[in-house]
Homo-oligomer: A and B are copies of this chain.
Amino acid sequence: MRIVEASQFTMKREIDYGTPEQNERVREILNTVRTEGDKALRKYALEFDGVQTDELRVTAAEIEAAYSQVDAKFLEALRAAAANIRAYHEKQKRNSWMDLQANGSLLGQVIRPLRRVGLYVPGGTAAYPSSVLMNAIPAKVAGVQEIVMVTPPATAGDAGINPHILVAAAEAGITEVYRVGGAQAIAALAYGTETIVPVNKIAGPGNIYVALAKREVYGVVDIDMIAGPTDVVIIADNTADPEYIAADLLAQAEHDTLSPVTLITPSRELAAAVQAELAEQLAVLPRRDIAAVSTAERGTIVLTGTIEEAVRIANEVAPEHMEVLTAEPFAILPAIENAGSIFLGPYSPEPVGDYFAGPNHVLPTNGTARFSSPLNVDDFVKKSSVIHYSKEALLASGEMIMTLARTEKLEGHARSIEVRLKKERSGK
């Protein structure tokens, strides 16, 4: 990792909008699925995954069988995690409300779950059962009645789905699963096919084709977000353990060669110690080929004058994950303005949140924590306003409403009030 003084540090942000060719290809896939439906899904499965998918839907027997392919310790841990995730997200639920007013009118806000949600789960090495829980449980807690999962076969040439993914889906209460991946899966969720009923919203991560497809169908359906590479910022002082910090930086760096990992500290000693630890731990890490690139090319230790300055810089970075390893982490919390998830103290390394504690691991990347939030129950509900004016209320405010409408030269608006005032005042 490079070491820079605070004054020299700037965070590079990049959004991958894909090449013109990738965009063109995605639009072509979307159009083909839109017009040819299931036939197109089968064609692409053969073309991209070398898989014959006569049965697009994964059967109940296949899901049942998956349970025998995962070990008991995994299932126990998965269930404990699911319970924690459920408990945390239950606290995000909100009620519809209404406000009764003295003049007999009533204003309200109705909160309802989305009817049907699609969840994309990548195949291959990026098939994470934890992501299934993190995406499905908030939707379930929100009250979404239909959650459908799409995921490509686990290995090329074989139509089978990763059993850990199927078990996670079943534990989260998903029973509708299709073996479809890529941009074509997004098209199926957005437009529907003979087999797949279209959804209202698509959530879940994917490769660049999936991301571009989601961007393209946004508006036809809602989407969760377009995620960039995962990132972490660790704020630490000289009370922090360099061994922990190095391990936590590597836990992030092993995801992706593009993952930015940043330590911000006023302690030169700590910086040096972390560098040494990092080299040692990296050498024996299974995914060292990835982590070596991300730490070398996207790894930074920023040296600051004070902890306050460290927090200020961290807020500018607006990280997806922020660990605070200082003498008094809670003293710093009020100053943290931009971060997806905040991990306080030495016993809260980021994997606690990735897998287990309960808060969501789908978080705003690429500095978008300045304006975005972790995936949450609100993402799977929608609100409607309710307005009921009494005759008294309309008579009292009608003239003012007409004044505003006429200022905007919308006479039709004014007349929709006026026709009522006239009739009521004339007593007819």
List residues of chain A with CB under 8 Å of any chain B CB: 15, 73-74, 76-78, 80-81, 88, 91-92, 94, 97, 99, 105-107, 109-110, 112, 114-115, 125, 128-130, 164, 200-201, 219-222, 226, 241, 243-244, 247-248, 250-251, 253-255, 281, 285-287, 291, 329-330, 333, 336-360, 363-364, 366, 368-374, 376, 378, 382-391, 393-394, 397, 399-401, 403-405, 407-417, 419-420, 423
| Chain B residues within 8 Å of A410, by CB | 251, 254-255, 287
Contact, CB under 8 Å: B74 / A403: yes
Question: Is the contact region of chain A dominated by helix, strand, or loop, or is it mixed?
Answer: mixed
A227 to chain B, nearest CB (A): 11
| Chain B residues within 8 Å of A415, by CB | 247, 250-251, 281, 285
Q: How far is the CA of A385 from the CA of B352 in the complex (A)?
A: 12
| Chain B residues within 8 Å of A351, by CB | 401, 405, 413-414, 416-417
State the oligomeric state as a number of copies.
2
Q: How far is the CA of A419 from the CA of B284 in the complex (A)?
A: 14
Contact, CB under 8 Å: A347 / B394: yes
Contact, CB under 8 Å: B374 / A404: no
A376 to chain B, nearest CB (A): 6
Contact, CB under 8 Å: B201 / A341: no
Could you write out 13 A-B pairs with CB less than 8 Å apart? A77-B399, A77-B404, A222-B371, A244-B416, A247-B412, A248-B416, A251-B413, A254-B413, A341-B386, A342-B386, A345-B389, A347-B394, A348-B394
| Chain B residues within 8 Å of A200, by CB | 370-371
Most buried by B among A73, A76, A129, A352: A352
Give the contacting residue for A219; candidates B114, B226, B378; CB below 8 A.
B226
Q: How far is the CA of A92 from the CA of B81 in the complex (A)?
A: 31
A302 to chain B, nearest CB (A): 21
Contact, CB under 8 Å: B393 / A114: no
